Structure 1
Amino acid sequence: MAEDWRGDLEVWLAPFLAALRHKTRMRLCPAYIAGLIGPGDRKSVQPMAARGGEFGYDQLHHFISDGVWESAPLETVLFKEADRLVGHEAGFLVIDDTALPKKGSHSVGVAAQYASSLGKTSNCQSLVSVTLASREVPVMVSLRLFLPESWTGDVERMERARVPQERQIALTKPEIAIEEIDRVIASGARFGCVLADAGYGSSGPFRQALSERGLLWAVGMSRRQNVYRADIGLIFPKAATGRRRKYHVPDDVAVSAEWMLADAKWQKISWRRGTKGKLTCLFAACRVRVADGHRHRMSDGRVQAMPGEQEVWLVGERRTSGEQKYYLSNLPADATLKTLAAAIKARWICEQAHQQLKEELGLDHFEGRSWTGLHRHCLMAMIAFAFLQSRRLKAAGRKKKNRSAAAATDHACDQASHPRPLHTATTRQMPSL
């Protein structure tokens, strides 16, 4: 018999509703989230209102787009619930972005831009996502819209889309990600390592910002990124004529990540078991210093980036398809190759979350044009996703408990049908003299 998920939802949403502090909004919020979870192919306001019947289109639309209420208290509760569900010192905080395809040009943030989920440039909105995960269970805690230059350079356009004044600034996706990471840290949510793809990992300031916060990280990077060997030396070569050199220079040249690992020892590593057996790839790793320090002109006219201060892991991955990927990580110098591979490959979990949010909860179905409406819709979708994850974890716990109980019963029955002899001092055979 199916459980009454609507009743469970009302109970689970109690701390969120308390944060709203308004009777009507405390009824509209569960209705909106139930509309996202419930049946129906389209999860925009109008069809949800028609299916639900309790509230009309105008009421739901006003709640999500125009109502005077703050999202921050609900976001705080979401952080706490996510930490309760999957927060762990050995868990991950996954940074990525996801695209919401759109037609037209009036919806906030819409522009022709590269969509990684589509693998091409498309007319879409691009959201920076932050996912807390452990034990291969993701809970998304933040979705923040990226505004391309065509928007940040047009104040009137941002005003029409009701972009808040403090958000009307040009920020890169890595800069947005750092702001969101700071919010997660401030909430007290637990995680052990930050993961990100090359769109973020290729940014030196992003990696540096993570290290400055004392965070462990494993991020993607371009195969063309220049690196130095870890023991690179810095020297002051003597000039035969002219002034003495002001800056030191490396005693060896930087090479691409691909070149650095070309002759490395590649090992077959399995990082977890999938539905069809163990997942394996070839991996190689070495310690390097990234060429992302200050730049200056060399004696031969070349402009060269100096080695960064931090020594990190350079990791290469060769997939069975022939594709090669490269990563950087500041995990400890004694980390095993399997540990590095497991951390790197844990990032896939956010893609699963993106897919479920879109296919099951209508993340990309919002039809409003405003900044506030879009972010509130995203927040409702994330709360709905967290609720579903709580039910899945609860069901998995019951199954595990039932399996343990069944195993204990089987063991007891086996013991009853095949009793072992008692070994006591009085029945033990005396050793012969």
Structure 2
Amino acid sequence: MCSASLESTLELWSTTLRQAKQHIRPLFAAPSVAASANAFLDGLLGGERRKTGWMRAEAAGDPGPWRQQALLGRTHWDAEALRDVVRDYVVETFASPDAVLMIDETGFLKQGKASCGVGRQYTGSAGKITNCQIGVFAAYVSDQGHAFIDRRLYLPKAWTGDPARRQAAHVPEAITFATKPHLALAMFERAIQAEVPFAWVAADSIYGVGEIELALRRAYKGYVLGVTGQHHFWSWDANLDVAGTAEDIAKGIPDQDWVRLSAGAGSKGPRLFDWAYLPLATLRADALDVALDQSLLTRGLLVRRSLSDGALAYFTAWCPAGTPVERLVMVEGRRWAIEDAFESAKTELGLAHNESRSWHGWHRHVSLVMLAFAMLARVRRLANRTPPKTTLIAKLAGAVVHPGDPARGDAAGAAAH
């Protein structure tokens, strides 16, 4: 029994990898390019801690990194088509009508000025302004698991307005300056166009206001979006006289209106906070747009308070009337999934080890990493459908299916949640 279980586990890995390679084969006209992509994927999934061109080449048995570099820079294939393949692969694995679409960004520390989009800008990855690239990502999160489905390199004005730098980095002529919220809006619109099933969107305060809110409302998507303490709210309820900044409103919330809830399981147990929710405006959808139906929807203010230092965080929420605060907390709590995915993809799959300086090189590298992450997430999902029946089998399966526990930051471990 032990041997059969182990064999089944190994077969799941090999079958999933083989299927992933079959998914991307139509993207490459030449068999040699397809073979390079397969070797690249193998290298990302290998045991080397750094996924540089030389490391990937050694894993593939190549004398040097030139084949790996050519795949990112000199061959002709469409990274956007690969992005769409990854998105469909993720939805096929984790589809849920109640899923959350997460939007967030991450930084890629760089030296020099040649890498496309590089510049001195703030990144939460370093917690400061530093020389880096910034990528905006979308992740699909359901109760089945999570993985990335979209990405885009942020191009600062210093790049979009410099023809020489654009040409050197092979930035397409059609690419113009776009703010991070506009990049996020485009990702949301692509997901809608592709009929990705989801009910909610969550993001931090960079993406929390403006066109995104309007687009989500018109698409009947609920959201929990971070805002600053200076964001203004007001009530349309005659029985609730509330108006002012989020910070000022939160100060007036009575003690009995706070409830302690978990935002999800963390490495040390439930992530507990105190929460307060004020539904400020309930109205019919067609009051916003006559093309919409007459569903009752509510706009509200969600406030999170830390148990350790009392620090507050604020969120604007849009949801069907009567949605309980527990549901909104669950949506906001799903934000940890994309942060965990960033860490795992960087430490285990080489997300930050891109050595290409071009626009298409960045998107090709990142899209291949997204595929590797999605594949690991799929393996974990399928493996967990039939848990081992004995402790010994569980240990053996864990050694193969679960190369690391989520607490270790392992990509396969992280992809389970």
- Shorter-chain TM-score tier: 0.7 to 0.9
5+ residue gaps in structure 1?
A: 234-251, 290-309, 407-433
1:342–1:7 distance in 2 versus 1, CA, 3 Å: closer
The structure with the largest alpha-carbon Rg is: 1
Paired residue for 2:44?
Answer: 36
1:125–1:31 distance in 2 versus 1, CA, 3 Å: same
The answer to whether residue 40 in structure 2 is matched with residue 48 in structure 1 is: no
Which residue of 246, 249, 268 corresponds with 1:257?
246
Displacement of 1:146 in angstroms is 0.5
Paired residue for 2:403?
Answer: none
Q: Can you list the C-alpha shifts for 1:141-190, whole angstroms capped at 9, x where unaligned? A: 112000112112212211111011111x1110010111111112222221
Preserved CA contact (<8 Å) 2:137 2:150:
yes
Preserved CA contact (<8 Å) 1:230 1:311:
no
Paired residue for 2:100?
Answer: 92
Paired residue for 1:279?
Answer: 271
Preserved CA contact (<8 Å) 1:261 1:285:
no
The answer to whether residue 181 in structure 2 is matched with residue 181 in structure 1 is: no
Which residue of 163, 169, 181 corresponds with 1:161?
169
Q: Can you list the C-alpha shifts for 1:175-229, whole angstroms capped at 9, x where unaligned? A: 011111111222222111111011111x322212222233211110001111112
The answer to whether residue 276 in structure 2 is matched with residue 288 in structure 1 is: no
Preserved CA contact (<8 Å) 2:140 2:147:
yes
Displacement of 1:254 in angstroms is 4.1
Q: Which runs of 4+ in 1 moved over 6 A?
A: none
Which residue of 312, 334, 338 corresponds with 2:322?
334
The answer to whether residue 56 in structure 2 is matched with residue 69 in structure 1 is: no
What secondary structure is seen at the aligned counterpart in 1 of 2:174? helix
**After alignment, is 3-12 or 187-196 more displaced?**
3-12
TM-score, reference length from structure 2: 0.82
1:52–1:6 distance in 2 versus 1, CA, 3 Å: farther
Select the structure with the greater relative contact order (CA < 8 A; seq sep ≥ 6).
Answer: 2
Displacement of 1:3 in angstroms is 2.1
Separation in 2 of the partners of 1:283 and 1:136? 26
Paired residue for 2:258?
Answer: 266
Preserved CA contact (<8 Å) 2:87 2:149:
yes
Preserved CA contact (<8 Å) 1:136 1:349:
no
Separation in 2 of the partners of 1:189 and 1:114? 31
Displacement of 1:16 in angstroms is 1.3
The answer to whether residue 159 in structure 2 is matched with residue 172 in structure 1 is: no
Paired residue for 1:365?
Answer: 353
Paired residue for 1:224?
Answer: 230
Separation in 2 of the partners of 1:232 and 1:165? 53
Displacement of 1:127 in angstroms is 0.4
Separation in 2 of the partners of 1:278 and 1:22? 50
What secondary structure is seen at the aligned counterpart in 2 of 1:330? strand
Q: Can you list the C-alpha shifts for 1:319-340, whole angstroms capped at 9, x where unaligned? A: 1132210001101220111111
Preserved CA contact (<8 Å) 1:20 1:74:
no
Partner AA of 1:317 in structure 2: R
Preserved CA contact (<8 Å) 1:10 1:30:
no
Partner AA of 2:158 in structure 1: S
Paired residue for 1:120?
Answer: 128
Preserved CA contact (<8 Å) 2:46 2:59:
no
1:65–1:55 distance in 2 versus 1, CA, 3 Å: farther
Preserved CA contact (<8 Å) 2:263 2:332:
no
Paired residue for 2:304?
Answer: 317
Paired residue for 1:211?
Answer: 217
1:253–1:271 distance in 2 versus 1, CA, 3 Å: closer
Displacement of 1:285 in angstroms is 1.1
Instruction: Give the share of equivalent positions with the same residue, in percent.
Output: 29
Preserved CA contact (<8 Å) 1:287 1:314:
yes
5+ residue gaps in structure 2?
A: 1-5, 282-296, 394-417
What secondary structure is seen at the aligned counterpart in 1 of 2:152? strand
